[in-house]
Chains A and B, each alone.
Chain A
Amino acid sequence: MTTENSSRTSTVPETDSEEYSSVNPATDMIDCKLSRRDFVKTVGYFTGAGALGLQLISVETIVECAPLEFSASAHTVELTVNGLVHKLTMDTRVTLLDALREYLKLTGTKKGCDHGQCGACTVLVNGRRINSCLSLAVTHQGDQITTIEGLSGGEELHPLQTAFIEHDGFQCGYCTPGQICSAVALLEEARRGDASFVTPDLAHTGRVELTPEEIRERMSGNVCRCGAYPGIVQAVQTASRTL
């Protein structure tokens, strides 16, 4: 691949067998003897271990990052997650989901389908729910990202977390972080009067009454393999009354 992006100064070595040396001995888990081809392969499979996971720099730990020369498409971004700023240098291909899970080790956010079809990866970006699996991490400079880990206030659970427990809104729990993040945004959308496909009158713009039908439609972006839907609907309805 040719490069001509003026915002980057690094170049990709021409040979596949070229070896690199570490820039920081503190990151001794980095395998610095990877050939370029191996590295690309590693990144391609997103193993989350070794070279990939260790390109992390967080402001708290101030670990220096692996050399940019690794990839023709590395990019640095500051991600603000649950109020903490993390400076990461990553392959441009890393999704927000993989950045959260594999780089920041915030594994509360789950990967289900990785194609926008299940909602397990739902997080809040500037208060709006999105599928983090279809969003590139590099696009989130300056955004306020909230994951399931950021919802509670210390030991105090978020009212939706409490409601999910109270109403058995889960079985295995795999879809639950996505369900809860989604529901947090849902309540805000209903409060400000956003319509859904089942809203009878689009001209009516006030706060939406969250009937079970409205909740089911508005939560339809979150699939639950365990079929905990009745409890989920009740939990959202209960929380909508208390919040």
Chain B
Amino acid sequence: MNPFEYQQVDEPATAVDAISRWRGSKFLAGGTNLIDLMKNTVEQPPKLIDINHIPLRGIEQTPDGGVKLGALARNSDTANHPLIRKNYPLLSQAILSGASPQLRNMATNGGNLLQRTRCPYFMDPAFSRCNKRTPGSGCSALEGFHENHAILGASDQCIATHPSDMCVALAALEAKVRVRGPKGERIIAIGDFHRLPGTTPQIDTTLMPDELIVSIDLPPSPYGSHSHYLKIRERTSYAFALVSVAAAIDVDSGWIRGARLALGGVAHKPWRVEAAEAALAGQKLSISLFEQAASRALSGARPRRDNTYKVEMAKRAIIRALTIAGGLA
């Protein structure tokens, strides 16, 4: 780990001011990703600005009937909050499927959005070629073993996936990320928050380096009772997803008023599939309908040598998740 300065701040304005002054400095939230990556010098901030004392831990109902999740609320507290368990069980499930109880006690909602890929070549500087870590150096995964890499939206510069479970549920729930920068607050739709790699895989999100996430705002959800987060992984628990599905259906006596579908483990960002959602809307609940939606969702997939299995796995996972969400299981 490289040496760094350490500063605690207790309000958003001070945090933004501090980060604007120190080039390359980083906010420290739960530290579960940042400290991990600093240990092997993938991250080398000269200064850490500890934001844990900023009062952004609240989880509150908003006037429109939605919920505001403080950026510093812990993942465990978010998943277990009565408002979330009752109105957004999809989000509770997604969070509880990730990491371990210890890590979820540390991990914050803001930090979860910004966790970096688990591409093994990115995480280990022994592999010198990684465009995300060192722009222009090449991609070790493309030439190496890429079993758990992207099948959608990748580029020839980077085929990494976004590892978060929580973000897949947030994509399906159409969350908004409220951020504060030197010029004030702005809101970024979750779908615009994470980026595709393109020719600049070193940039994960549209958040500016001097912006602080203050909250994640959930709109009111009609999907409370008909949703499911399905996660497929190599062991039963405490593992990242190979493929995951957040499925949410607004059901009215057997008919689908609307649906939301997002995939994890398949792309550089949580992959919402609006074409599949459109195929579901207005139809009667049925397994064959779910099969059509799954085919649509994967129609643009471009697997590579080692990860062709993910296409069929994702299709079946979608069908299964919709079946459970729709109450047909």
Known: A44-B1, A93-B3, A197-B96. A129 touches B101 (CB 8 A): yes
Residues of B within 8 A of A223 (CB): 238
Query: Do B105 and A1 have beta carbons less than 8 Å apart?
Result: no
How many of chain B's residues touch chain A, expressed as a range? 35 or more
User: Which A161-181 residues sit within 8 Å CB-CB of chain B?
Assistant: none
A116:B3 contact, CB within 8 angstroms? no
Per-position binary interface string of chain B over residues 46-59, scored 1 when its CB falls under 8 Å from any chain A CB and 0 otherwise = 11101010000000
Is A221 within 8 A of B101, CB to CB? Answer: yes
Contact A135-B106, Cβ < 8 Å, known A92-B48, A194-B80, A218-B101: yes
Q: Decide: A136 near B1, CB < 8 A? Known: A194-B76, A195-B92, A220-B100.
A: no
A119 with B100: CB separation less than 8 A: yes
Task: Please state if A131 and B103 are interface contacts (CB–CB under 8 Å).
Answer: yes
Q: Does A144 contact B (CB under 8 A)?
A: no
Q: Which of B7, B28, B102 contacts A130 (CB 8 A)?
A: B102
Q: From DSSP, what is the main secondary structure of chain A's interface residues?
A: loop
Give Cα A194–Cα B77 distance, bound, in whole angstroms.
9
Q: Is B127 an interface residue (CB 8 A)?
A: no
Q: With a CB–CB cut-off of 8 A, which chain A residues contact B295?
A: none
Q: Does B93 contact A (CB under 8 A)?
A: yes
**Taking CB as reference atom, which chain B residue is nearest A46?**
B1
A130, B105: Cβ atoms closer than 8 Å: yes
In the complex, B143 has a CB within 8 A of chain A: no
B86 contacts chain A at the CB level, 8 A cutoff: yes
Asked whether A119 and B31 contact (CB < 8 A) given A92-B4, A139-B52, the answer is: no
**Is the Cβ of B50 less than 8 Å from the Cβ of A139?**
yes
**Are the C-beta atoms of B102 and A195 separated by less than 8 Å?**
no
Q: Is the CB–CB distance between B4 and A93 below 8 Å?
A: yes
Question: In the complex, which of the residues A73, A75, A134, A199 contacts B35, with contact meaning CB atoms closer than 8 Å?
Answer: A134
For residue B36, CB closer than 8 A to chain A, the reply is: yes
CB nearest to A135 among chain B residues: B31
Nearest residue in A to B82 (C-beta to C-beta)? A205
Encode contact with B along A187-230: 1 for CB under 8 Å, 0 otherwise: 00100011111010011010000000000111011110000000
CA A182 – CA B30 in complex, angstroms?
A: 18
- Which of chain A's residues 78-116 have a Cβ closer than 8 Å to chain B? 91-93, 95, 114-116
In the complex formed, the residue of A with least CB distance to B97 is A197
Residue with the greatest number of chain A CB neighbours at <10 A, chosen from B6, B93, B103: B6
Q: Would you call B79 an interface residue if the criterion is a C-beta within 8 Å of the partner chain's C-beta atoms?
A: yes
Among B3, B35, B36, contact of A1 (Cβ-Cβ < 8 Å): B3
Closest to A181 in B: B102
Instruction: Closest A residue to B35 by CB, please name it.
Output: A134
Q: B5 at the A/B interface (Cβ < 8 Å)? A: yes
Question: B105 touching A128 by the CB < 8 A rule?
Answer: yes
Q: Is the beta-carbon distance between B237 and A216 smaller than 8 angstroms?
A: yes
Report the Cα distance A182→B104, complex, angstroms.
13
Q: Are A93 and B1 in touch, CB under 8 angstroms?
A: yes
CA distance A4 to B85 in the complex (A): 45
Interface string of A120-153 (1 = CB under 8 A from B): 0010000011110011101100000000000000
The chain B residue sitting closest to A189, CB to CB, is: B101
Check B106 against A202 for contact (C-beta < 8 Å).
no
Query: A134-B36, A138-B6, A222-B100 given. 14 additional CB < 8 A pairs?
Result: A5-B7, A92-B3, A93-B3, A114-B39, A116-B36, A130-B105, A135-B106, A136-B35, A185-B101, A196-B96, A202-B86, A220-B237, A220-B238, A221-B103
User: Chain A residues in contact with chain B, CB under 8 A?
Assistant: 1-5, 7, 40, 44, 71-73, 75, 91-93, 95, 114-116, 119, 122, 128-131, 134-136, 138-139, 182, 185-186, 189, 193-197, 199, 202-203, 205, 216-218, 220-223
In the A-B complex, list the 8 residue pairs whose CB atoms are closest, starting with the nearest.
A221-B100, A220-B237, A197-B96, A92-B6, A220-B238, A73-B3, A202-B85, A202-B89
28 contacts between A and B (CB under 8 A): A1-B3, A40-B3, A73-B4, A91-B3, A92-B48, A93-B4, A95-B35, A116-B102, A119-B100, A119-B102, A128-B76, A130-B102, A130-B106, A134-B35, A135-B106, A136-B31, A136-B35, A139-B52, A194-B80, A195-B80, A195-B92, A195-B96, A202-B89, A202-B92, A218-B101, A220-B100, A220-B236, A221-B100
